[in-house]
Structure 1
Amino acid sequence: MYKPRTVEQYKLMEFIREEFQVECFLIAPVSRNCLMIEDVVGSRMAFQWTDGLIWEAPLPVPATTEECRAFLQSFCVESNYPYLTGLDELTDWWLNTPNPLTHQQALNLPDDLYRRYLTCERMLDLEDVLALVMGERVTPEQLLDLRL
C-alpha cells in the first residue's frame, strides 16, 4: 500500500481509512496534498487536503508525449540533476520537484508494475531475488516483484 510522505497525504489517508474499505482500493499519489483511490473496476476519485479541509479534486491528466519530451530535455540540460537509485527516491523527487508528469509517468512503469508497486509492502532485496530465482517456480505476483 502507498505510504504517505507528507502531512497532507497522511491526513488524507486517515480520511480514506475512515470512509472507505481501504483493502478494496488502490491508493496513488497525485501531488503533495492529493491522493487518488481506484476501485477494482477502474473508477477513480481524488481527494485534496487544503487549509485543513478535504475536497474532491479533479483527476490527474497524464502529460502528453510532447510535454514529457520537453521536460526530459530541460531536465537533462541541468548539471546538478539527481542520481536516483530506487522507486521510493524517485517518488520523493517527484513530490518535491515541479513537473508535468503523473506519478506513474515519473516512475516509468507500465500499469501492471505500477499497481504492484502501490500494493506491495516492501521491495525485494538481493537475497529475496536470489531465493526466488533459485526456486523452481515463480508465481505471477512474484514475477511482478522480480520485474520491479
Structure 2
Amino acid sequence: MSNFQTVLRQLRLEHNLTQDELATKLGISKSTVSMYENGNREPDFETMETIADFFNVDMDFLLGRTDCPTKTTNASQKPREASNSTSLENADQDIRRIQRARKDMTDEKKEQMMQMLEIAFGEYFKEDDK
C-alpha cells in the first residue's frame, strides 16, 4: 500500500495529466497539487472527496489504506440513474453533493433549495423535530 502523495501522483500520471491540468479540473491551484504530491500538505476532507470522485476511486485507496482502487458498491443496489427514489444508502453522498453546490449559491438560492428539500422530504424533516 502507498501513501496519499504517491497515489495522487500515480493517478495523475495514469490519466496523462500535468499538475496544472489536474489543478484546473479539481478547482485548486497547481502549487496545491504540487504540495500534495510532495507531501508538504494534505487536502481537507471535501477536497479528498473531490479527488476520489474525479478519479473514480475509493477514498481508502487514495489514503493508501487499500490496494483496491475501485469504489465498493452493494451488488443488490440499483444504479442511481435507474432509480427514481432516494435511498438512505446514498444519503451521505447526496448531502456532500448538496454541500458542494451550496458554495456557489446566493442566499436566496440556498433558501429555495431548502424549501424544495422540505417539500420533497418533509416527512424526514418532521421526524427530526420530535
| TM-score by shorter chain over 0.5 | no
Question: Which has more strand, going by share of residues?
Answer: 1
Question: Which has more helix, going by share of residues?
Answer: 2
State the TM-score, normalized to the length of structure 2.
0.24
Work out which of the two has the higher radius of gyration on C-alpha atoms and give 1 or 2. 2
